[in-house]
Structure 1
């Protein structure tokens, strides 16, 4: 076989694998198992059957997966947006930080007594599996929408606590010396990463938004790659400044999410597609790092399944439940929130960092983490729709809308506003004529269930509607509250 033939064969295999990965999403929907589970399992089987072909360096995989996660987090931040995030900002920060810390402590105790690991290695393992994973959570809820604060809280927690877990693990691995010195190093390093990551995320997000709005480009096709380049700049700058690059891109995505910009729809579609590709790449590469035969020889199956069960049924429900008490949720919402603490690419990535640390028993810890993630993705992730149905959580599937109707403007239409009617808002259940609009406000178009609906005065709006409104710019804050803020208690 010539060099050209070998190259063609490699391209053919990559194309077939990519096609299979994309089509696996249809199988995932039928079996109600998150697509990342298929990527992870199939890649692990391939690594077992063809070990020479799938031999990968941990350093290479770590770097590629880190970039993939940065893309996923930025897209997740844009999907949440500042308007949704601010409705649960305090709760997201609280459960993202405090929840990660208490879960890490609980998982460390479980690793010490169940898997027989030393306290330092147990703490590293606990930190690795403490954070929920944005790739899995965003995949599970990709076509599903949860009414109320629960959806925002779950998506926000998965994006916020990953930087917390990554920063905490990096501080633990770098800490040496006496107990006091180690504790001080961990605290200062953790605070530094969080503070620098937030600052660069805010500054970088605002700068990128200004760049998007004020600097025109000669071709429509350049606008989306420009944003991607900006995301990589924000991530790299935060890392170089010893901050959390993951937190920085997540914050930047939140700030950009709701803001208008030229070709914003095209940019959002581009990054959504790129995040889906990044999810496939991340889980396939992570799966290729594990030989299934090694899990049995190290006793990782029994230890991993035991710790995974404790995490799902004891540690997160008890410790996470105590942390979530200040958060305003109904009992059923709280149960659903505590179950949906899914593990995925981030714990495996952190496990690779542990395995490369040279600490005795680190490779076995990585294998245990792999089993924990496999259980969480398949069992916990697969039961999310069933649990939502049993608890009566409003979880509806949003069907794709492949046809679009758009209007192009050479200048930003300042008087044109688009709103998504949030469940429980003042607009939800109110007729158009009943809304306290000013004289210069006009509802011009309503999109419901993918169809255009006449915006008559007696038309009753409902949650999920998209409403196009013509109004002066100074009317925007009041309109925003009307369509997105909860209805006052006095009605």
Structure 2
């Protein structure tokens, strides 16, 4: 009994120490411009070599842990986008995230067959594992900056969609069962479409049901609302998976549906799930790093093969494919170049690699190690260069300083007559006196927040781009707000 308690104590101690080190490394990561996920991944791999006992963790347990972590990462990713922000770019993001995954997987697999001499099946599986990108790695590389405009929406939307697409594609190929030729292509296409269609349908239905539940059911404490969303995400993932759909896509879609829809304790829910997503990121990269044995890499030649695939994937395939796919999308050339070169690899490729490790007995280990090297190279090299690349491509990076002091008012029922806008660059309201704004008679400006500070309002106060404006209207006369939204550039 004493020995078991002591073993549990050591396990808790190690887990807490790893988490504390990960949290402490975030400001260091921002200072030295090395994305935090690189530290989690590589540090865990080194620790697993130094402490052989950590290698005994079953791989299937790691896969389950990472799967749960990714549920919360994708839920938060969908919620951070929201339907209003994603809707204008949905077609382009779907084209990049779904169609791009298929094309990149096929091209990468073909080149892996030619350059590494792999048979077609493992080469294609490797291409699929390396196709998805990771939004957590991208935004960790940016620190407290976010990509402004449509580029940020497309990058986040693509990553949210191509993670489920990559998993659906890998599932379809692993279930071929000896099919070849047209039968194999037909099976893969059917399973892929089924996963995406069912996942989307369950995500929309589950998100709307959860929204209705949060609005109708009165819970005794505000923390229970955040837990309800967490439980709802797990249910949505489970229902989609059991129905042969993509559970990850269902969760991401539910997050998009829930965002900006006005639920009780909305800000508290956002903060809780943002923290849960950060914890999921740390847990996923750390757990996956523990599955790698760096000491064996020289014997398996993974460093060399991984370097070759890193060049093929990061420098050749994705840039060329994305530049071609983005031609019909209304973007500047600089934005196209930026999006083509910033698809960082992360936890999902390694998770897919772990499935190859368990499902493909002949080449599983070598494929998994190659994936690890490519992901490490992507985070270290691509991630470090993102701020520089954004400047070269003239893509705006908007600072998002920490704002630890909130100002809020609680109501017993959903508030009406309150609207909140951000002044977009080039909007009518920019550099316009408050008294001269073309607003209806029943609309008043209550608050203006500039660079995180509350602004004292006078009739001659001029609004700047990125100012946050809170309006109060007559609830009885509320109607379409397109005219007001256009003043601030939000329509």
Change (3 A) 1:162 1:53: closer
Cα distance in 1 for partners of 2:250, 2:131 equals 20
Whether the 8 Å CA contact 1:231–1:249 is kept in 2: the answer is yes
2:76 is the alignment partner of 1:75: yes
Once the two structures are superposed, residues 276-315 of structure 1 have per-residue CA deviations (whole angstroms, 9 ceiling, x without a partner) of 0000000000000000022221111111111111222211
Structure 2 equivalent of residue 276 of structure 1: 278
Pick from 411, 416, 419: which aligns with 1:417? 419
Once the two structures are superposed, residues 168-187 of structure 1 have per-residue CA deviations (whole angstroms, 9 ceiling, x without a partner) of 11001101323222111111
The secondary structure found in structure 2 opposite 1:464 is: coil
Whether the 8 Å CA contact 1:102–1:320 is kept in 2: the answer is no
Pick from 397, 401, 410: which aligns with 1:408? 410
Structure 2 equivalent of residue 328 of structure 1: 330
Cα distance in 2 for partners of 1:442, 1:3 equals 65
Pick from 245, 249, 252: which aligns with 2:251? 249
Shift of 1:142: 5.8
Structure 2 equivalent of residue 476 of structure 1: 481
Structure 1 equivalent of residue 318 of structure 2: 316
Equivalence map 1:66-465=2 (5 Å): 66-141=67-142, 143-176=144-177, 177-465=179-467
Once the two structures are superposed, residues 91-135 of structure 1 have per-residue CA deviations (whole angstroms, 9 ceiling, x without a partner) of 101111221122112211221122211111111111111111133
Once the two structures are superposed, residues 312-362 of structure 1 have per-residue CA deviations (whole angstroms, 9 ceiling, x without a partner) of 221111111101111111111111111111101000000111111134212
Shift of 1:424: 4.5
Whether the 8 Å CA contact 1:419–1:466 is kept in 2: the answer is yes
Give aligned pairs, total.
486
Change (3 A) 1:83 1:460: farther
Whether the 8 Å CA contact 1:421–1:484 is kept in 2: the answer is yes
Shift of 1:62: 1.1
Cα distance in 2 for partners of 1:285, 1:205 equals 29
Once the two structures are superposed, residues 158-211 of structure 1 have per-residue CA deviations (whole angstroms, 9 ceiling, x without a partner) of 101111111011001101323222111111111100100010111111111111
Whether the 8 Å CA contact 2:76–2:274 is kept in 1: the answer is yes
Q: TM-score, normalised by structure 1?
A: 0.95
Whether the 8 Å CA contact 2:78–2:253 is kept in 1: the answer is yes
Whether the 8 Å CA contact 1:69–1:135 is kept in 2: the answer is no
Cα distance in 1 for partners of 2:117, 2:432 equals 60
Cα RMSD of the aligned pairs, angstroms, is 1.7
The secondary structure found in structure 2 opposite 1:414 is: coil
Change (3 A) 1:310 1:156: same
Runs (5+) with no aligned partner, structure 2: none
Shift of 1:430: 4.2
Whether the 8 Å CA contact 1:138–1:155 is kept in 2: the answer is no
The secondary structure found in structure 2 opposite 1:13 is: helix
Cα distance in 2 for partners of 1:278, 1:179 equals 40
Whether the 8 Å CA contact 1:76–1:138 is kept in 2: the answer is no
Whether the 8 Å CA contact 1:147–1:423 is kept in 2: the answer is no
